[in-house]
Amino acid sequence: MTSGTSRLRRMLRDSPTVPRARSALTRRGGRRGAQPKVVALGGGMGLSASLAALRRITGDLTAVVTVADDGGSSGRLRDELGVLPPGDLRKALAALCGDDEWGQTWARVIQHRFHSQGELHDHAVGNLLIVALWEQLGDHVQALDLVGTLLGAHGRVLPMSAVPLELQALVRGHDPERPEEVDTVRGQANVALTPGEVQSVHLLPQDPPAVPEAVAAVLDADWVVLGPGSWFSSVIPHLLVPELLQALTETKARRVLSLNLAPQPGETEGFSPQRHLEVLGRHAPKLALDVVLADEAAVPDRDVLTQAAERFGAAVELAPVARPDGTPRHDPELLAAAYDRIFRMHGRIGPWR
């Protein structure tokens, strides 16, 4: 660690303007009050929605984020510098920013994208900041913790693996002229928008190592939340990291699967809620769940979804969690209320507060 980086860490630690009590680095040593330890897994806007809700109900929150993104600013930095794609990590940090002036200012700053005719075009400020600290510190977790401290983040953000991953999918009918043939589609950005029907996904390198802190967080959690998000490119990849899947099957935490509000064009076009569960089970047949959360307006037949959930050992909880404007986006307050009710009703200990 350079002397300049050491000074930066001390400045952030000692600054009276940084809301340190909410940062990941200052919450070592156990639970604050009687709040549940929650770990949320996913990527992209789905994970951001879950984090924006969860930070309202617990101060002990860890996000474990996919690292297979290969598009946009993240893909360019990954290709040029050989680093983990920082975009989904940045989005998670932004979602954990508070609603006060400090939090909202920093959320806007790290999400800001440059617009130019040059090389900086479309790069996000937060991506550059994260990568710079990776290079300064030589440690993914320390760097993300430091960014979280600067932002006053209401939780911790961890990558699911310390190596960049490539997502590959087997897709039936990828070529409309050959609807019965199965092709391999490479890259998260391509998988997310692929025509045809995704049969399965896998990661390269195969059996990638998990970040130890992510495994420890899952094993130590009271609750683990998987989803919502792009099903094949953000949710299922966590189940393809052997150490992380083992932690998910061995943890004593209760496990919640949060379903999407609507099928995603391309990746899950035409999927019913129960179909999401079926493909999840194909990729992780030993995974057990405790609760499946879905928006009540997105489930045409609760009985069918209940049957699919029972194969995981899970109960179904329906709640209004969508924004009232009709867009397929989660409302953070409504989703927070749903999570809070689930934690109280299905938790082994309680009440939390």
Residue 26 has a pLDDT of 35
Residue 3 has a pLDDT of 57
Residue 14 has a pLDDT of 59
Length of the chain as a residue count: 353
**What stretches in the chain show pLDDT beneath 50?**
16-33, 349-353
Contact predicate 252/224, CB 8 Å: no
d(CA 293, CA 336): 12
DSSP string, 206-274: SSPPBPHHHHHHHHH-SEEEE-SS-IIIIIGGGGGSHHHHHHHHH--SEEEEE--SSPPTTTTTT--HH
d(CA 30, CA 285): 33
Tokens of 3: 């002397």
Is the bond leading into 351 cis (omega within 30 degrees of zero)? yes
Nearest residue to 339 (alpha-carbon basis) of 256, 252, 235, 228? 256
Q: In a 10 Å sphere around its CB, with 0-12 CB exposed, 13-18 middle and 19+ buried, how is residue 4 labelled? A: exposed
d(CA 226, CA 221): 13
Residue 286 has a pLDDT of 94
Contact predicate 298/262, CB 8 Å: yes
Residue 4 has a pLDDT of 57
Contact predicate 298/319, CB 8 Å: no
Contact predicate 162/84, CB 8 Å: yes
CA distances from 240 to 147, 188, 232, 292 (A): 28, 14, 11, 20
Sign of CA pseudo-dihedral 247, 253, 254, 256: negative
Tokens of 135: 């290079």
Residue 10 has a pLDDT of 61
pLDDT per position as a tens digit, 272-296: 999 999 999 999 999 999 999 999 9
* Secondary structure of residue 288 in the 3-state scheme: coil
DSSP 185: E
Q: Which structural domains are found in the chain, ordered by start?
A: 1-18+68-159 (no CATH), 31-66+209-353 (3.40.50.10680)
Residue 265 has a pLDDT of 83
Residue 11 has a pLDDT of 52
DSSP 57: T
* Average pLDDT value for the chain: 89
Contacts of 293 (CB under 8 A, 6+ apart): 256, 257, 258, 259, 317, 319, 321, 338, 339, 342
